[in-house]
């Protein structure tokens, strides 16, 4: 079961590994990212942040979609972390209604971004994607840590 899909440009780090993993009662973390899937150095760094009793899987977006759709991941209580809004959109659209909400945890400031919260910076195109997801019934919200209240994303 997918417990949470989170966008966080840092992928797996203390906040995700400790706060979210524990609060969700998850037993598996899926890092869905095309570049990480190809980069042994980044994989090694991400493994260092993994909670002790967590199963950690790192796959490309396409392979993540394939695994989720096959049902093989259904036996896990899974936290999915992606690096970008585009990756989250691709995962949501590719997994046939298996993901109903999207947690925005962190997107770094870049040229052409607008600040939506202390940790969320989005381009107009990313904001349009999130707005479209909301219009299609996806609960899109900003929440840094589980102890904070959810802030519904507003374009």
> What's residue 72's pLDDT?
95
CATH number at residue 118: 3.40.35.10
The rounded distance, in Å, linking the Cα atoms of 75 and 72 is 7
Q: How far is CA 131 from CA 85, 89, 104, 116, 146, in A?
A: 11, 11, 13, 13, 23
Tokens of 52: 């002790």
> What's residue 155's pLDDT?
83
Identify the domain containing residue 38 by its residue range.
2-152
Supply φ then ψ for residue 44, to 5 degrees: -60, -45
Low-confidence ranges of the chain (pLDDT < 70): none
Q: Identify the three-state secondary structure at position 23.
A: helix
Do 136 and 37 meet the contact criterion of CB atoms below 8 Å apart? Answer: no
> What's residue 15's pLDDT?
73
> What's residue 13's pLDDT?
87
Q: Is the pTM of this model over 0.85?
A: yes
Query: How many distinct structural domains can be found in the chain?
Result: 1
């Amino acid at each position: 079961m997918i417990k949470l899909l989170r966008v966080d440009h840092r992928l797996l780090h203390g906040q995700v590994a400790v706060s979210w993993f524990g609060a969700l009662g998850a037993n598996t973390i899926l890092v869905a990212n095309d570049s990480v899937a190809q980069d042994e150095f980044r994989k090694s760094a991400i493994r260092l942040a993994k909670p002790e009793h967590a199963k950690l899987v790192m796959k490309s977006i396409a392979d993540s979609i394939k695994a989720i759709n096959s049902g093989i991941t259904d036996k896990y209580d899974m936290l999915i972390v992606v690096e970008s809004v585009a990756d989250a959109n691709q995962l949501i659209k590719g997994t046939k209604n298996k993901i109903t909400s999207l947690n925005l945890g962190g997107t770094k400031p870049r040229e052409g971004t607008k600040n939506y919260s202390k940790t969320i910076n989005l381009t107009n195109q990313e904001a349009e994607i999130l707005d479209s997801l909301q219009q299609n019934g996806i609960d899109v919200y900003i929440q840094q840590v589980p102890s904070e209240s959810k802030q519904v994303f507003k374009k």
